Chain A
Amino acid sequence: MAFRHLPANSADETLAALKEHGEDGKVFAGGVALSILMKSRVYEPEVLIDIAGAGDLDFIEGTENGGLRIGAKTVHRKIETSPLVQERFPLLAEIFHNVATIRIRNQGTVGGNLCFAEPASDPPGAFLALEARMNTKKADGSERVIPAAEFWTGYYECALDEDELLCSIEVDPLPDGFRTACTRFTTRSKEDKPCVSVSTAVLTEEDGKTAKEVRIGLGGVEAVFRRLTAVEEGLRGKELNQENIDAVLADTLDDLEPLTDIRASSDYRRQVTPVLVRRTVLKALGAS
């Protein structure tokens, strides 16, 4: 296994390296995902562009409107333990707390998690529910803002071009009254990757029960992360109780295309996904 290790100490250096090495170059962030692929010789990149030293991609900052901007190279653990994240987006603090073990969270980066686009992941669902935006840059200097809903395009595929770098993720504050919750469901060890991962943000009428807006981000189940828009639409205006939610789910989830993998069969995922979505919506309703 021979490869070149190329340290890149800033976003610009990374982009220059991407330009120079074209499809031979690969961004190496925490390396958690990549090194497993390389060790098992599934994937053998020629040049590893190591962004460990790219300080300008490693930050968590509040935006003026009360939102958050997170550098792509920020490790899970840093997000999970950030007082700013905990205060502004408890959902994000919780979702990153849920990922794997502290060892992995100290090494894996948010950018690596999102760009790797492994179906059995937790954070993408939360970023979907929060309607995050991905700020990217290309080697030619051009920049893009990709909405979360358009970021994941396939099985282990995201919308980035080969020479494109995810620089930061930005979330606007949720409008007043939104409540959030997530559920991470595993079938084997609790440290396993998720079989089903649901994130929700729920806004009700003044009565505290009737749904005004419900956002549901789903991970672990299908090849591509997505919002369950049909469910969200179905719930609008309904009183959020078990019976109503189950009725809506029964009508609106038939387009689910669950995967079969070592954690569960497609059939099992089809059965438990509605249960877990309902529980997560009700959990959000009960949240302060």
Chain B
Amino acid sequence: MAELSYIGKSIPRVDGPEKVTGRAMFTLDLQLPKMLHGRLLGSPLPHARIKNIDTSRAEKLPGVKRILTYKDIPEGVEWGVVPVCYDQRPLASDKVRHVGDSVAAVIATSEDIAVEALDLIDVDYEELPAVFDPREAMEEGAPVIHDRYPNNIAFTKHMEFGDVDRMFDEAHHVSELATASSRQMHGSLEAHVSIAEWSRKGDVTVYNSSQCPSLSSQYFAKLLKIPEAQIRVITNYVGGGFGGKATSKFNIDFLSIIAAKMLDRPVKFYYTREEEFLLGTHRTKQFHVWRIATDKDGMLLARDTKMVVENGGYSDYGPAVGGITAHMGGSIYNYKAYRHHADVVCTNVPPGGAMRGIGNAGYAFGSELAMEKHAEEIGMDPAEFRIKNFVKKGDTTIIGAKITSCGVSECVEEAVKRVPWREKQPSSNGKRRGYGLAAAVHFTGARAMGPETAGAFIKMNKDGTVQLLSGTIEMGNGSDTTLAQICAEAIGVRVEDVRIINGDTAVNPYGWGVRGSRTTTIDGEATRLASVQARNMLFKGAAELLECDPNDLDAREGKIFVTSSPERQVTHSEAYMKIYEKEGSEAVYTASSYDSPSETPDPVTGYGNWSAAYAYGAKVAEVEVDTETGAFEVLRVISTNDCGTIVNPAGAQGQLDGGAVMGVGYAMMEDFEVEDGMPVNPNWLDYKLPTTQDLPELEAVLIETENPSGPFGAKGLGEMAQLGTSAAIGNAIYDAVGVRITSLPITPEKVLTALNEKNGE
């Protein structure tokens, strides 16, 4: 590849100065004139029939403008993620299905009044038997949460290829392991927020914190029967999303739109921190049983996975987890036969959802523990066992994934090289050290809910500067910067001459938003395509000025020049003016629409190349375990990642470090606990996130491969960054003290209990 001006360079974040000086605007900050404030009344019970809602006392409180109940919600306002599981509603009607389930909404002139009014709403509940463990909820006779889901199973994903049972019969060795993951919170600083305002023309503007404004507008149009041209969704910077604001948290959007129309004033709703826990979803909890079969050489023959996914009271991304994990499991190792069975089961706990590495983080914890156990049982180095069985570039895997770039073996080799791998560590002071490995894969956009489209509009200005209108938004992931780099590189302007305009559905192209590790790659490719069109238009003007063929031109850093004699050059502005001043002038506005080369999986078998590119990575963790207390410290996490061409190394490193930190939290401490349906720790005092004091030494190694379909060879990274950390830590603890903790989080108490059992106490 020719030397590039911006791709591969650590260009400082374009949103950096604004954010570090506190000037960046987040939707939560927004106050509109005459704005009213909405608050939700949540259910105190995990499962109950609503017999009556009496709002009369609350309505009398001065300052209360309106109280909404399900009766105010139009018919058919039901949604979800997987179409057969559209069961979410803004307000509960017949029943409440988890603590915090919204029953009513107060709209008042101030937040304080709204809160006061909540206490004055009298709800008459008939408590119903409830069920909290999805494995129990599937059993005959368990309380039914939604009539539409017999046995509470909202969704089942079964994928099976090859003769699984025969492979297990013929196997040289079979291993089995049961594992479980936990409920991790996104922990975004900005809460979910939605402000709606209707214009006199009868159009509605919604300011929200969605990772996907286009999808918001599409849902509002469809469910509220408003022409989409009359809806404008505006999203400022999103103060952290991590999947929690992906595409499905529409409750308060619908309420603000409906209330603002009734009251003819802007209405703002946001989730309190407690509501973030109860309504904002979390990383979906999973239970797995893994069976692995190998031949006498340690080659994988088959894997058989049985999963139960805790859906919670409503279907958010839970059902999607059942399918995503099937695809991911089949995109990293080669098998002769593969079976994945996932039941996604409703329970009376707050709903699970999508979170960075959706489904895959809990899945990779279990599957990489199972791989480790299998390696040990067949007496093979776990790194070697993995490398032997990884998919390779050029493979079409058992589930139909087409691997067009793959550096996973190099990732593992690089990671283990950095530690005294497989050397027994001396114990000192009752403390033992160990090293653990895990590998993982993640997609780059997945064709799960339709085409993986992205668009970009380029507006060249006559002074040579550029406005890039993209279909995505910036949620802290750094995509404004990478898109600016791609745009500047492709047009050949200076990166500081590119301004990104995004987050306004009335202005920006349609896009799938920031999710699925897609933005730099898929929105990036759309950006590149629109940029190349703009450059080609400018080259016509430049060719006239320089009296050469447009094909002989190149452009970099604000100059268009003759490739063979770069001193012959003009600026973009000069080129633009040349074509603009002519008769029949052309303005340089371009648009692209891009769909990534992936396939919709077969609706029956699930077979297909679901994503345009697969990113790989490995983690090695170093831990020290205190054998008397079970307490352990994570001393080091090494992240090696194959994420295609690196567009911005500093940004990539930030993702990998941040991902590792999130992985450490997931491994060691993060768990939204719910006991008999009651939230135990819905706040930052009792739910612990890792802080700087808890952090290990972080090392990030970028291993570049080239993704043929990505802009300049890029592929996804954001989610990959955290995958495998928890399994690497779990495997390191096993290496140190010989106990395998099979459920998250790995606590000192679990380690000590396992040590006691091992020592026969």
Are A and B subunits of one complex? yes
Instruction: Point out residues on A near B: beta carbons under 8 Å.
Output: 1, 36, 40, 101, 185, 187-192, 262, 264-265, 268, 271-272, 275-276
Tell me which of A187, A191, A271, A272 contacts B691 (CB under 8 A): A191
Once the chains bind, are B688 and A188 in contact (CB under 8 Å)?
yes
Once the chains bind, are B669 and A190 in contact (CB under 8 Å)?
no
Nearest CB in chain A to that of B628: its residue: A275
Chain B 466-495: CB-based contact to A (< 8 A → 1; otherwise 0): 000000000000000000000000000000
Chain B 608-639: CB-based contact to A (< 8 A → 1; otherwise 0): 00000000000000000000111100000000
Once the chains bind, are A1 and B694 in contact (CB under 8 Å)?
no
Q: CB-CB < 8 A to B748: which residues of A?
A: 187, 264, 268, 272
Once the chains bind, are B631 and A185 in contact (CB under 8 Å)?
yes
Q: CB-CB < 8 A to B630: which residues of A?
A: 272
User: A264-B749, A268-B749 given as contacts; is B629 within 8 A of A189 (CB)?
Assistant: no
Once the chains bind, are A268 and B752 in contact (CB under 8 Å)?
yes
Chain B 262-305: CB-based contact to A (< 8 A → 1; otherwise 0): 00000000000010000000000000000000000000000000
For this complex, 17 residue pairs linking A to B, each with C-beta atoms less than 8 Å apart, are A36-B685, A187-B631, A188-B668, A188-B747, A189-B690, A189-B693, A189-B694, A190-B693, A190-B694, A192-B688, A262-B680, A264-B747, A265-B749, A268-B748, A268-B752, A272-B748, A275-B629
Nearest CB in chain B to that of A261: its residue: B686
- A255 and B631 CA atoms in complex are apart in Å by 25
Once the chains bind, are A262 and B694 in contact (CB under 8 Å)?
no
| Prevailing SS type, chain A contact patch | loop
User: Count of chain B residues with Cβ under 8 Å from any Cβ of A?
Assistant: 26
Q: CB-CB < 8 A to A185: which residues of B?
A: 629, 631
Q: CB-CB < 8 A to A189: which residues of B?
A: 669, 688-691, 693-694
Q: How far is the CB of A279 from chain B (nearest CB, A)?
A: 9
B419 on interface, CB distance cutoff 8 Å: no
Q: CB-CB < 8 A to A275: which residues of B?
A: 628-629
Instruction: Point out residues on B near A: beta carbons under 8 Å.
Output: 112, 115, 274, 628-631, 668-669, 673, 680-681, 683, 685-686, 688-691, 693-694, 747-749, 752-753
Once the chains bind, are A262 and B669 in contact (CB under 8 Å)?
no
Once the chains bind, are B693 and A191 in contact (CB under 8 Å)?
yes
Q: CB-CB < 8 A to B673: which residues of A?
A: 262
Q: CB-CB < 8 A to B689: which residues of A?
A: 189
Q: CB-CB < 8 A to B112: which residues of A?
A: 1
Q: CB-CB < 8 A to B749: which residues of A?
A: 187, 264-265, 268
Q: CB-CB < 8 A to B688: which residues of A?
A: 188-189, 191-192
> Known contacts A40-B683, A188-B669, A190-B693; can you find 8 more A-B pairs with CB under 8 A?
A36-B685, A188-B668, A188-B747, A191-B693, A262-B673, A262-B681, A264-B749, A272-B628
Q: CB-CB < 8 A to B631: which residues of A?
A: 185, 187
- A187 and B751 CA atoms in complex are apart in Å by 11
Q: How far is the CB of B333 from chain A (nearest CB, A)?
A: 33
- A1 and B752 CA atoms in complex are apart in Å by 44
Q: CB-CB < 8 A to B685: which residues of A?
A: 36
- A101 and B692 CA atoms in complex are apart in Å by 11
| Residue from A264, A265, A268 whose CB has the most chain B CB atoms within 10 Å | A268
- A1 and B113 CA atoms in complex are apart in Å by 9
Once the chains bind, are A272 and B752 in contact (CB under 8 Å)?
yes
- A185 and B626 CA atoms in complex are apart in Å by 12
Q: CB-CB < 8 A to A192: which residues of B?
A: 669, 688
Q: CB-CB < 8 A to B747: which residues of A?
A: 187-188, 264
Once the chains bind, are A1 and B680 in contact (CB under 8 Å)?
no
- A188 and B691 CA atoms in complex are apart in Å by 11
- A55 and B692 CA atoms in complex are apart in Å by 34
- A275 and B693 CA atoms in complex are apart in Å by 23
Nearest CB in chain A to that of B670: its residue: A188
Q: CB-CB < 8 A to B753: which residues of A?
A: 268
- A265 and B630 CA atoms in complex are apart in Å by 13
- A276 and B749 CA atoms in complex are apart in Å by 15
Q: How far is the CB of A23 from chain B (nearest CB, A)?
A: 22
Once the chains bind, are A276 and B629 in contact (CB under 8 Å)?
yes
Q: CB-CB < 8 A to B669: which residues of A?
A: 188-189, 192
Nearest CB in chain B to that of A264: its residue: B749
- A192 and B628 CA atoms in complex are apart in Å by 21
- A276 and B752 CA atoms in complex are apart in Å by 14
Q: CB-CB < 8 A to A36: which residues of B?
A: 685
| Residue from A36, A188, A276 whose CB has the most chain B CB atoms within 10 Å | A188
Nearest CB in chain A to that of B673: its residue: A262
Q: How far is the CB of A30 from chain B (nearest CB, A)?
A: 15
Nearest CB in chain A to that of B753: its residue: A268
Once the chains bind, are A272 and B629 in contact (CB under 8 Å)?
yes
- A190 and B689 CA atoms in complex are apart in Å by 10
Tell me which of A101, A188, A190, A271 contacts B752 (CB under 8 A): A271
- A4 and B752 CA atoms in complex are apart in Å by 49
Q: How far is the CB of B737 from chain A (nearest CB, A)?
A: 16
